[in-house]
Structure 1
């Protein structure tokens, strides 16, 4: 007689939702949570003091649906990272879904992600993401298809993050509470997702991959990634933190023996360089240049972003960027070294 598989322990799923000026989106957000084919066990709303009535709307919707929920009231607006950490402390589940108050999800998200998490005995599960416009119409899938279903090691997932093969959107994950620690999200700045997700991945032994795009990420003009302001400069601090974490990466196929540490270090430096241009310098400079062309944003902030992007670019990076196939980044480095204003004129035509 074969061995009987153990009955899996019951899983309690808590959804943590920071709420800040979400009156336009909070109802469809909560309807997406309430329509899950595998019902969530608890909703934790974090009032990040947007003071637009969205918390009241949310509590009325959850109360009428008879869903277990609680509200964490912050003393003032702190931002998404602080609000997620506060919600995590109040949550009682052993699996946590951090959901943004303007996002949507496939009705099978919870069921399929939990199934992958348990089946693969993973520390967290990750799916692909669909971008949607302010009214919820699909714009396209954010990440390429994964080479396979199943799971990867946490270190391999960290490398996928740095290569841009997966995005660092927290709502596209289900996390076992144990892998998160006490305060996983950066509280000091905007662009709080990338370095935090990288740290979590480096702590994880195993990450379940779900190839389907089950999260619907809403893009709108008010989002941090779309507005040039003082918070935009936080992207540089994020890049610095990622660079500090890069040496912790381990390449699965790096040979052992003499020279292996040097080879691994060289690969990590190349990976960090490509990330710096793709995810930090090019986005910051392009946002600032487009703001200047549209006569929007604080002119001093715009000038500062362009100057900092230029300072962090280098002609010394051009050859290694070309060698690694990062032609767009190499062209950016040349353009910023030669003439940012000429580069901006070229950008205007694209």
Structure 2
């Protein structure tokens, strides 16, 4: 009886979660398939699409029988569950996530292979491109600011990450073994900000990193995403993400400098959500701010005074110390319930909503 040797382990598993993206899935998968070779596998997870997404995935992959690919279909459960499903099916040594409305930029898989061959790190960090398909002149590259070469100091990895504050899992290519070190499910189901709670946990498990200054993803900016829907759940999910990340950092026993950088990054995210909450109806906004305030404070290692002192010093990683200080002072005012802060935010948000409605009316009128 003939026996067959098991297929060799792929170097890279490319995981693409997809939901109702019939107009985008073709270009996305083409950008991946055009770069794939024998060292790669593709896993596409359809998250219960109600349009032609699944049919287009299957039709496209049928034209590429030379590629190691599989399609997994699940009931609609959200991107976190789809990612977890893909991780469970992956066999590659490294995991590459690509969102189904984005594009994997040319040369990306080759750049990753070269970094792995030279350094074999726990994680590879890459640049990406903010992509405005309808306003290409606005598209621009976003560069990470990690030091060059192989990084083996965990504090340097985490401090630079928190200073950059780019919370996108697809810009970080981890060894699959790093994902396996976290309790399942890796990505928390049913929440937004799943990357914000997951990336610090993954990075804290890494003993080595290589930064590859290659733009890996065209990150599509939708007109709808510019006017994201703010809700109480949206705000609470951010607060929960900070708590999850803080708990894991405690478990890992991170350096004191990491705690400082975490606090400053948390201040940026917190004040952003506080400002967004002023777009909610007045009573809802007040309730949200009252709910997230104690969660944020309990997530911090220090206080605003210690953050300000650190931001003004030279020992923290910072790309704009003046901006850091301004943000922390805004957090201080928000926590204190400053009337001036509340008044400014109310006025600012009303102006933004008015401008948005005016722009939408012009678009609807065809101008």
TM-score (norm 1): 0.79
Helix, strand or coil for the counterpart of 2:121?
Answer: coil
SS at match of 1:324: helix
Whole-angstrom distance in 2 between the partners of 1:162 and 1:18:
26
Which residue pairs with 1:324 in the alignment? 310
* Shift in CA distance, 185/154, structure 1 to aligned 2, threshold 3 Å: farther
Q: Give 3-state SS (helix, strand or coil) of 2:139's partner.
A: strand
Q: Which residue of 2 aligns with 1:104?
A: 103
CA 1:127–1:178: 2 relative to 1, 3 Å: same
Shift of 1:272: 2.9
Number of the residue aligned with 1:206: 208
1:274 CA drift (Å):
1.1
In the alignment, which residue of structure 1 is the partner of 2:156? 156
CA contact (8 A) 1:42 1:68 kept: yes
* Mapped partners of 2:193, 2:293: distance in 1: 20
Aligned to 1:239: 242
Superposition RMSD in Å:
3.0
Say yes or no: does 1:277 pair with 2:267.
yes
Q: 1:105 to 1:299 in 2, by over 3 A?
A: farther
Q: 1:347, 1:330 → 2: CA distance? A: 19
Match of 2:277 among 276, 288, 291: 288
- Alpha-carbon spacing, 1:229–1:171, altered in 2? closer, same or farther (3 Å): same
User: What is the distance in 1 between the residues matched to 2:213 and 2:207?
Assistant: 19
Q: Counterparts of 2:161 and 2:193 in 1: how far apart (Å)?
A: 14
Count of residues paired in the alignment: 318
Q: Any residues of structure 2 matched to 1:41-80 within 5 Å, and which?
A: 41-66=40-65, 67-74=67-74, 76-80=75-79
Give 1:154 deviation, angstroms.
4.4
Q: Give the secondary-structure state (helix, strand or coil) at the position aligned to 1:167.
A: coil
Match of 2:316 in 1: none
Aligned counterparts of 2:36 and 2:71: Cα–Cα separation in 1: 24
Mapped partners of 2:145, 2:258: distance in 1: 24
Work out the CA distance in 2 between the residues paired with 1:269 and 1:154: 12
Quick check: which one's helix share is greater?
2
TM-score, normalization by structure 2: 0.76
Name the structure 1 match of 2:343.
342
Equivalences for residues 298-309 of structure 1 within 5 A: 301-309=284-292
What CA distance in whole angstroms lies between the structure 1 residues aligned with 2:139 and 2:253?
33
Shift of 1:127: 0.4
Deviation at 1:195, TM superposition (A): 2.3
Taking the aligned partners of 1:231 and 1:71, their CA distance within structure 2 comes to 31
Classify 1:197/1:312 alpha carbon distance in 2 versus 1 (closer, same or farther; 3 Å): closer
CA displacement at 1:146 relative to structure 2 = 3.4
CA contact (8 A) 1:16 1:97 kept: yes
Deviation at 1:192, TM superposition (A): 0.8
